[in-house]
């Protein structure tokens, strides 16, 4: 039997799940009784760099703002994202800048992951879902590279 299958069975076992819930509830009760507080989840800032294919920077930026950034703005308005900024390089061409857009997002992770937009949010923003999906494909095809950095302040 594979180890992963064994773990999956344990999670699906109602008795094990009930014990886990009881342990978590007991721990929360002890923390409350002792007057201790659980640590607040820390917000995370992520910088996402996007580099468009040469010659397609304007088209990529236009599609990104129309689709991806619009969804992120809705998530910001809904409180899923705490802060959202979009940047373009200020340096002149030929100075070694190798990115087209920089997206700075600050959020509180849920289960260690950034917030993802719900289908209902996307449907509310884009009535023609098929056109939205096609434009997202075009946006990705115009992308030469994407990378993410989690900045850490120095003490």
The lowest-confidence range among 9-13, 32-36, 75-79 is 9-13
The conformational region for residue 129 under phi > 0 = left, psi -120 to 50 = alpha, else beta, is alpha
Coil vs helix vs strand at 125: helix
Q: How far apart are CA 132 and CA 138, in angstroms?
A: 10
pTM above 0.75, yes or no: no
- Retrieve residue 16's tokens: 């094990």
Dump pLDDT digits (tens) for 104-145: 999 998 877 888 999 999 999 999 999 999 999 999 999 999
Dump pLDDT digits (tens) for 89-98: 986 666 778 9
Q: How far apart are CA 66 and CA 87, in angstroms?
A: 15
């Amino acid at each position: 039997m594979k180890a992963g299958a064994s773990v999956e069975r344990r999670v699906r076992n109602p008795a094990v799940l009930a014990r886990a819930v009881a342990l978590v509830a007991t721990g929360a009760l002890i923390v409350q009784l002792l007057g201790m507080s659980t640590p607040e989840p820390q917000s995370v800032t992520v910088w996402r760099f996007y580099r468009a294919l040469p010659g397609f920077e304007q088209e990529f930026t236009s599609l990104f703002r129309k689709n991806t950034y619009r969804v992120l703005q809705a998530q910001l308005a809904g409180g899923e994202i705490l802060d959202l900024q979009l940047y373009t390089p200020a340096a002149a061409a030929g100075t070694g800048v190798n990115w087209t857009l920089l997206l700075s997002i600050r959020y509180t992770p849920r289960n260690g992951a950034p917030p993802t937009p719900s289908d209902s949010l996307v449907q509310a923003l884009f009535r023609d879902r098929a056109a939205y999906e096609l434009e997202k494909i075009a946006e990705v095809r115009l992308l030469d590279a994407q990378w993410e950095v989690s900045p850490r302040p120095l003490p």
